[in-house]
Structure 1
Amino acid sequence: MWNLIYLIGLMIQIATAVYPFDSFMDSSLLPPTAEEQAPHRDLTGQVTKTEDHYFAYGGFSEIYRGEWRNPSTGKVVRVAIKLLRGIHTDPKSLAHTIKRLNRETRVWHSLEHKNILPFLGLCREIGPSPAMISPLYDNADVHRYIADRLDDRLAVILGVARGLEYLHSKDVIHGDLKGHNVLMDDDGTPLLSDFGRSKFIDHRGFTTAFAGSARYMAPELTAAEPDVVYGEDEHGTYENQGTPNLTKETDVFAFSMLALEILTGRLPFFYLRQDTTVIAFVQDGKRPERSRCLPSVFTDPMWALLENCWDEAPERRPIMSSIVECLERM
């Protein structure tokens, strides 16, 4: 019964963005600094939507096609416009959202790597909160790209690994690795996207949809804590005060599930229908079964690497630089 109650509470936590709004309310009495108020690069007045309907969406956002006219060159390029959904109309809540968003996008803007989705800037006139602007590619996400490219899948995994190695070298934790967050550019290069998103979308009141991230979560992120009481607060949210921290090791675990997804073209644990079942499965020490995961696409070295990455003990999982070296030898 305890495990069932815990799993229900955990799934509600994930579906409502996991991190409580109060986690950054202690600083709410202080006005934001100028650096926190202003986006790193302001594209307001330079970006236009070319379609009224979004072409992609996630649990927290809608993505529209658009164009950006670079004022320095006059060149017009296609862009993806990401608008956060369900923002609080309360001015104070909106101010906190913008403050948090600016902090995270400033980190994104500081990153430059061939396997990281470029961040072009923020546009303040398209929606109730700033829209995040990035390049738009024809290949879309990795699922569409690999559908008829079996021979390219190892190269895609290696590109993802190199991108994650770069993030970790900058002490940036992705925190939401999964197939939907890997885009492919027009040259077939994989690009990590949406890293750090969960750190600023932590508001009650968002219209969210649980996107299956439980299938990529390390066991330490879903471990029950018997001394923590889970209960429904006045907002109808089940939460605790000891949310586990995302780490480089939890990223490595998620990477193993993402690599499995790329190799097979199917979700991790595709043979388990419910995400709650997956959580319990992983907590019991069980992992994907090679015999059920298109075994013909796995070499022994690849499967051994995945097993090391999804090890129960975080300290025994390899670091990303070692993973890249291993993949380069395959």
Structure 2
Amino acid sequence: MDVVQELGEDALSKDLTGEIKHEKRHFASGAYSDVYGGDWTDASTGRVTRVAIKVLRGITDNETGLMKTRKMIRREIAVWMGLEHPNITPFLGVVTGFGPLSAMVSPYCSKETIVRYTLENPVVDRLPLILGVANGLAYLHSLNIIHGDLKGDNILIDDDYSPRLVDFGRSRILGRRGFTDAPTVPKRYMAPELMVIPDDITTADRKIEIYAFAMVVIEVCILADFVDNSGRINFVVLQILTSKPTFLVFLHQHYAAMLIQGGKRSGNARCLPTHFADEIWEITKDCWHDDPQARPEMAAVILRLEEMRLKKSRAA
């Protein structure tokens, strides 16, 4: 039985097999998947939509491996298909033909990832982008869903220049059996408590993801002066010197990682756009607080970002 059949009628109604023509080569890759471009012709309306098709990699005929991969797909679809928000990439359906299991279909975002977009458009206003990410994350948290892999590479920019969260393969649902695995946050976005006592961390925690949000803010706001001539963040080391211990930001292929010497972080942010660097920096510091309980909820972060937006609109 395929993943779609296991999920029931809702998933079956989203089977787009036969309506999609896909390209032979993938245009993007993740840790566990490849993404192909394609065109979906809606059978009911005739409308053609450019789509992205996520195909899990490394699927074999081994029954144990198939069961594990089937579970991964089933979990991701179960979370993703129920989401509807302007800052969440929509789940359009599934398609077969890429192997023994279904592939997942979503709209194609031509502006690529949020980090690539901001690097290629250095004068773009970052505040609406950060606010959009915050709204998408707050929506997930309101449903007791933890994204589980929040980073710049998993935030796309749509044709309306709005950020949309994508890739729910590591998502977890608080209090729901089978969806509360231990956190698998990438190390560059990992909260300190995960590095120190990962075995003692209970199922998912919103405060862990608040820390990852702070890392995304740094990624989005980083100035082009701190990347190499190719326009890519590639082993760049930013050294910000203040009266406090040195604060190093390591950036590699759109990832950001913080190394704190002496347990303190800098109070300065020379790598950020100056017109709102201090305010953004204060929000970021609160979100990456060493004490998880001291980190704000996303609703509180959104209020502060909205205040910044209103202040900016009044000054315009």
TM-score normalized by the length of structure 1: 0.72
CA change 1:175–1:186 in 2 (3 A) is: same
- Report the counterpart of residue 150 of structure 2 in structure 1: 177
Change (3 A) 1:59 1:109: same
Q: Are 1:136 and 2:108 counterparts?
A: yes
CA RMSD, Structure 1 to Structure 2 (Å): 3.0
TM-score (norm 2): 0.75
* Secondary structure class of the residue paired with 2:50: strand
How far the C-alpha of 1:53 sits from its partner, in A, is: 1.4
Query: Is the 8 Å Cα contact of residues 43 and 122 (structure 1) preserved in structure 2?
Result: yes
In structure 1, what is the Cα distance between the partners aligned to 2:297 and 2:113?
A: 26
The answer as to 2:47 corresponding to 1:69 is no
Deviations along 1:17-45, one digit per CA (max 9) or x if unpaired, are xxxxxxxxxxxxxxx99644777222222
Match of 1:307 in 2: 285
Determine the structure 1 residue equivalent to 2:81. 109
- Residue 198 of structure 1 deviates from its aligned partner by 6.4
Q: Structure 2 stretches of 5 or more lacking a match?
A: 173-184, 228-232, 238-248, 309-316
The 1-side partners of 2:209 and 2:93 are apart by 26
Q: Which runs of 5+ in 1 are unaligned?
A: 1-31, 200-211, 226-240
Residue correspondences, number = 269
**In the alignment, what sits opposite 2:175?**
none
Instruction: State the alpha-carbon separation in 1 of the partners of residues 192 and 258 from structure 2.
Output: 9
Residues in 2 aligned to 1:262 and 1:129: alpha-carbon distance in whole angstroms: 35
Alignment partners' CA distance in 1, 2:257 and 2:37:
36
1:252 aligns with 2:224: no
2:57 pairs with 1:79: no
Q: Distance in 2 between matches of 1:198 and 1:172?
A: 7
The answer to whether the Cα contact below 8 Å between 1:257 and 1:268 also exists between their aligned partners in 2 is no
SS in structure 1 opposite 2:86? Answer: coil
The one-letter amino acid paired with 2:16 is L
The 1:143–1:33 alpha-carbon spacing in structure 2 relative to 1, beyond 3 Å, is closer
Kindly, what percent of the aligned residue pairs are identical? 43
SS of 1:296 mapped into structure 2: coil
2:92 alignment partner in structure 1: 120
More strand by share: 2
Q: Distance in 1 between matches of 2:65 and 2:156?
A: 31
* Mapped contact 1:69–1:76 kept (Cα < 8 A): yes
Letter in structure 2 aligned against 1:117: T
Name the residue aligned to 1:204.
Answer: none
Letter in 2 for 1:48: K
Change (3 A) 1:69 1:62: same
In structure 1, how many angstroms separate the alpha carbons of the residues matched to 2:262 and 2:202?
Answer: 18
User: Structure 2: how far apart are the matches of 1:176 and 1:52?
Assistant: 28
Higher relative contact order (CA 8 A, sep 6+): 1
Change (3 A) 1:170 1:288: farther
Distance 2:250 2:221 in 1: 20
Give the equivalent residue in structure 1 for 2:140.
Answer: 167
Q: 1:268 to 1:256 in 2, by over 3 A?
A: farther
Distance 1:79 1:167, change over 3 A: same
Deviation string, structure 1 residues 82-121 (Cα, Å, up to 9, x no partner): 1111123212421332133123212111000000000111
